[in-house]
Structure 1
Amino acid sequence: MGDNPIRPPAAREGADEAARIEIAGLAKRYLTPKGETFTAIRDVTLTIEPGQFCSIVGPTGCGKSTTLAQVSGLERPSAGSVKVGGHIVDGITNGVSYMFQADALFPWKSVLSNVMMGPILVGTPKREATELARDWLRRVGLAGFEDRYPHQLSGGMRKRVAMAAALINNPRILLMDEPFGALDVQTKAIMQNELLQLWEELRPSVLFITHDLDEAVALSDRVVIMTSSPGSVKDVFDIDLPRPRGNVQQIRHEERFLELQEQIWESLKDEVTRAYARTAGAA
């Protein structure tokens, strides 16, 4: 990995404050096609500390992605608030990068051009943006693929491009919505290791959505369990596995990992069962 310049203490403190996410009493309601009100989430209260890696897990339809959308500013809450760096989120938040499950790459642009987009949009001169994009492609193992197009890459390679594009502007906050959900097991493990390496280097605050409990425990400092719909915070577990965590596959065999996984599953399984019963009954 490349070296980042060491920031003075005052600069680090200011950046730390800017990376705190405070969610208070958050609710989001939608109108259904029948004109009825559907509550996706209610009374979600959660704080993600600066530089913390926090995963949210819960049954399908519990509002995990909805919560992420409120933090990003892509949607506005029906009630409650989200603060980033002490400021209410009332639109797209600066310094926040979003990595989706689906490839969010421009298919008509080369790999290099896709990764350059972030710096260009914040006013970086083209030559500097090009050099920065080349460096990030090297960091994610794609040196030599700069002139390829997304359709010419494997799924794992496209995820690496997306990760480089999400991190190139050194975001203070990284929002990830099941970014590795569609990958095969082997590629997923590689991407998890690469994500941890890059996160250790940059230390953005991360809010990570996943259905994979093992993934959540292996990557995170905290794991948040959401209830079945409407979603709210049921439990929060601190993950005390030591860092750095070099290999997620090895971590999953450690005794402490297995203990944490079992504790969290005890909380999660009731919500999964309720969600399944509700959908099965509706069918």
Structure 2
Amino acid sequence: MTDNQTLYASPPGAGDSARIEITGLTKRYITPKGDPFTAIRDVTFTVEPGQFCAIVGPTGCGKSTTLGQVSGLENPSGGSVKVGGNPVHGITKGVSFMFQADALFPWKSVLGNVMIGPTLAGMGKKDAIALARDWLRRVGLTGFEDRYPHQLSGGMRKRVAMAAALINEPRILLMDEPFGALDVQTKAIMQTELLGLWEQARPSVLFITHDLDEAVALADKVLVMTSSPGSIKQSFDIDLPRPRGEVQAIRHEKRFLELQDRIWSSLKDEVDRAYAQTAGAA
């Protein structure tokens, strides 16, 4: 596949409103000792409407910092972030979040957690309940509506989080290592379920991960970040056909292994450099 339009398609009616444009993005902090610290520097890339973009890089390179700027939860020190052509200033409508920590309300039932979004958007309680039940069916949790988060396994909590993130039909989905804490088997199941749900609506996705195999299996494009201060070192188009089916099976395909090897060649130098930096600091 050489035409990017064959790799991803925008969700119906989303158009350019689902495009993420990052230009010269820089973020600086003041450390507890009062020293300036540059987390990311001159980060520039675009996520096209309906595209699944993954970012990989060594620990501490600024992957999550980049996502924080896109989410509007933080303000950049330099550069710009635009969603749908508009500068990001605070939380942007039509954007959903899914992070590594379970962002579920422990005092609410599974049904109560999933219906929060529609309720806050003004949907009537009866309709919100019906929609939440439908999404719980989609993620395989029918019969668990009255359970509470502490009564669920880690994988089941992730399914609730996915339903809560997707129920509002977001044009953009931001994901920060959402499956990082899961065991290998559960992680593979959740990755496959995410692909199936994403295929239905095709929101633009910005996905942060430490797992290179995960990035290649899920994404249309993989960005490699340099060691700190983070910037975009290289971009790789992932031309594996969609729909991709079972993630575990994809990992044995010849093209997957070729892509994984190419990206690792770029990533390995940054991982080694980051390790050397931290070892020197110690």
Which range, TM-score by smaller chain?
over 0.9
- 1:7-26 residue pairs with structure 2 within 5 A? 14-26=13-25
3-state DSSP of counterpart to 1:47: strand
Count the aligned residue pairs.
273
Deviation at 1:281, TM superposition (A): 1.2
Residue 220 of structure 1 and its aligned partner are, at CA, apart by 0.5
TM-superposed CA distance for 1:271, in Å, is: 0.2
Give 1:194-233 correspondences, 5 Å limit.
194-233=193-232
Please give the alpha-carbon distance, in whole angstroms, between the structure 2 residues aligned to 1:252 and 1:163.
23
| Residues 220-245 of structure 1 deviation map (CA, whole Å, 9 limit, x = unaligned) | 00000000000000000000001100
For residue 22 of structure 1, give the secondary structure of its aligned residue in structure 2: strand
Residue 15 of structure 1 deviates from its aligned partner by: 1.4
Partner of 1:275: 274
Superposed, 1:215-254 pairs within 5 Å as 215-254=214-253
1:103-159 CA-partner distances (Å, limit 9, x unpaired) = 000001000000010111111111111110000000000000000000000000000
The alignment's TM-score, normalised by the length of structure 2, stands at 0.95
Task: Tell me the C-alpha RMSD between the 2 structures.
Answer: 1.0
Partner of 1:80: 79
What does residue range 256-271 of structure 1 map to in structure 2 within 5 Å? 256-271=255-270
Once the two structures are TM-superposed, the CA of residue 280 in structure 1 deviates from its matched residue by 1.0
Moved more, 14-23 or 159-168: 14-23
Q: For residues 103 and 76 of structure 2, what CA distance do their matches in structure 1 show?
A: 24
Q: Does 1:128 align with 2:127?
A: yes
C-alpha deviation, 1:49, in angstroms: 0.3
Tell me which amino acid in the other structure corresponds to 1:155: G
**Superposed, which structure 2 residues align to 1:124-203 within 5 Å?**
124-203=123-202
Report Cα offsets for 1:20-79 as digits up to 9, x if no partner: 000000000011111111100010000000000000000000000010011110001000
Could you tell me which residue of structure 2 aligns to residue 69 of structure 1? 68
Structure 1 residue matching 2:173: 3-state secondary structure: strand
Tell me the secondary structure at the aligned position of residue 134 of structure 2: helix
**CA 1:86–1:184 in structure 2 vs 1: closer, same or farther (change >3 Å)?**
same
- How far apart are 1:95 and its partner, in Å? 0.3
With normalisation by structure 1, the TM-score equals 0.95
Q: Take 2:21 and 2:126, find their aligned partners in 1: how far apart are those partners? A: 37
Quickly say closer, same or farther: Cα 1:13–1:151, change in 2 above 3 A.
closer
Distance 1:12 1:62, change over 3 A: closer
CA distance in structure 2 between the aligned counterparts of 1:19 and 1:193, rounded to whole angstroms: 23
Query: Following TM superposition, by how much is the alpha carbon of 1:193 offset from its aligned partner in structure 2, in angstroms?
Result: 0.5
Q: State, as a whole percentage, how many aligned pairs show the same letter.
A: 81
Tell me how far apart the structure 1 counterparts of residues 145 and 205 of structure 2 sit (CA, whole Å).
27
Once residues 66 and 90 of structure 1 are traced to their aligned partners in structure 2, the CA distance between those partners, rounded to angstroms, is: 16
1:12 positional shift: 6.3
Alignment partner of 2:54: what SS?
Answer: strand
SS state at 2:14 partner: helix
SS at match of 2:200: helix
Matched residue, 1:6: none
Residue aligning to 2:40: 41
For residues 101 and 154 of structure 1, what CA distance do their matches in structure 2 show?
Answer: 15
How far apart in 2 are the matches of 1:99 and 1:210?
Answer: 12
CA deviation after TM superposition for structure 1 residue 14, in Å: 4.9
Letter in 2 for 1:39: T
Question: Structure 2 counterpart of 1:83, which letter?
Answer: K
Q: Deviations over 1:243-271 (max 9, x none)?
A: 10001111101111000000000000000
Query: What amino acid is aligned across from residue 162 of structure 1 in structure 2?
Result: A
> Which residue does the alignment assign to 1:51?
50
Contact 2:56 2:212 in 1 (8 A): yes
The CA distance in 1 between the partners of 2:57 and 2:82, in whole Å, is 23
Question: 1 CA distance for matches of 2:157 and 2:232?
Answer: 33
Amino acid at match of 1:182: A
**Structure 2 CA distance for partners of 1:269 and 1:57, relative to 1, 3 Å:** same
Give 5+ residue unaligned stretches, structure 1.
1-10
